[in-house]
Structure formats: C-alpha cells, structure tokens
C-alpha cells in the first residue's frame, strides 16, 4: 500500500520537497492525525456501539433466530474494524481485499440481506451520534462502500 505520505517520502529521497509538496505533506499528516482520533474513538466505544445496535436489532427482528442475529452483528463488527483500518490507511482497496470479496456471498447464502441492511442503518445512526457529523463524514465513505457491495449482491444460488 502506497499512500500519499509514502509517495512524498519516496520523492524526498531524491531531493528536498518543494514548498507545495511540503504543504501537501503537512496536510496529509494532519488528516492522518484526525483519522487516528476517529479510529481510537471507534475502538474504545465498540462494545457500547454494538450493544446499542444489538438491542435495536433484537427489538426489530424478535422472531429472527439468535444465531442469525449474532452472525449479522459479527459481520458488521468485522466490517467496522476493517472500515476503520481502511480509513486510517486511506485505502479503500484494503476493505475490498479483506472482507468485501467473500462476505456478500455469505450474506446471500444465509438470506440475511434485510437483517444486514437494517443493522447497517442502526450502526450508521449510532456512529453519527457518537462521532459527530464531521468525524463520521471521514469514516462514512468506507461504510458506504461496504453497504453498496453488500446490498447489490445477487443471491448465491439461483431459484429453480
């Protein structure tokens, strides 16, 4: 993974950075600092966030089997962790490589699309409240990437 900071560092091996490149480097470092704060907030509040989401899901899907609900919660726990890491490294391909390549098939195979989409909605509301709009807007593109891939997935098995 080569980030903007990495490429500037490689550039600086040959010569000092020009003023505009140095400004870009400072901007990237400040942006990284903000992403790090968001990552730490998510990490530190993960249990509370998912307890709140679990309570809402259980209320919305009272007849859903507990193992299926647990599986959906685990999916989004993994997705949030990977989204946090993708955000931290500013690398959306990381998310594709780690989870989005195989998870949609699992969700389709277990017919969990509705449960997963509802869970995403609750998670999104909870994160907006806990992070605030400005910080959430930095994490949001990665969550949206995950949601889009999961919601556009066709069922793994075609009905006969």
Which CATH number is 18-151 given?
A: 1.10.490.20
Q: What average pLDDT does the chain have?
A: 88
Mean pLDDT value across residues 143-150: 89
Distance CA 12, CA 16 (A): 5
60-73 residue pLDDT tens:
999 999 999 999 99
More confident residue, 155 or 33: 33
| Tally of CA atoms within 13 A in the half-sphere of 66 that contains its CB | 0
Mean pLDDT value across residues 5-15: 83
Per-residue pLDDT band at 79 (split at 50, 70, 90): very high
Lowest mean pLDDT among 47-56, 109-118, 149-158: 149-158
pTM here is 0.84
Residue located via tokens 């605030």: 132
So where are the chain's domains?
Answer: 18-151
- Taking CA atoms, 35 is separated from 54, 91, 94, 114, 135, in Å, by 26, 12, 16, 30, 8
Residues 6+ positions from 130 with CB-CB distance below 8 Å: 41, 45, 48, 49
80-137 residue pLDDT tens:
999 999 999 888 888 888 887 788 888 888 888 899 999 999 999 999 999 999 999 9
> What does the block give as tokens for 131?
């992070």
Mean pLDDT value across residues 15-22: 89
The answer to whether the CB of 69 falls within 8 A of the CB of 57 is yes
Q: Degrees (nearest 5) of the Cα angle 64, 140, 72?
A: 15
Per-residue pLDDT band at 153 (split at 50, 70, 90): low
More confident residue, 35 or 154: 35
The percent of the chain in helix, strand and coil, each rounded to the nearest 5, is: 80, 0, 20
> What does the block give as tokens for 119?
């869970």
- Of 45, 3, 50, the closest CA to residue 28 belongs to 3
- Taking CA atoms, 121 is separated from 56, 102, 126, 136, 143, in Å, by 10, 21, 9, 14, 11
């Amino acid at each position: 993974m080569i980030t903007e900071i990495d490429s500037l560092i490689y550039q600086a091996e040959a010569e000092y950075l020009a003023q505009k490149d140095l400004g870009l480097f400072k901007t990237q470092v400040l942006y990284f600092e903000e992403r790090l704060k968001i990552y730490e907030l998510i990490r530190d509040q993960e249990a509370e966030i998912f307890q709140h989401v679990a309570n809402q899901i259980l209320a919305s899907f009272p007849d859903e089997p507990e193992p299926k609900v647990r599986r959906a919660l685990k999916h989004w726990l993994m997705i949030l962790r990977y989204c946090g890491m993708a955000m931290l490294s500013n690398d959306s391909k990381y998310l594709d490589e780690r989870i989005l390549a195989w998870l949609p098939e699992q969700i389709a195979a277990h017919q969990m699309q509705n449960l997963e989409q509802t869970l995403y909605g609750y998670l999104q509301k909870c994160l907006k409240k806990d992070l605030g709009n400005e910080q959430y807007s930095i994490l949001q593109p990665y969550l949206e990437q995950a949601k889009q891939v999961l919601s556009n997935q066709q069922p793994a098995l075609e009905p006969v």
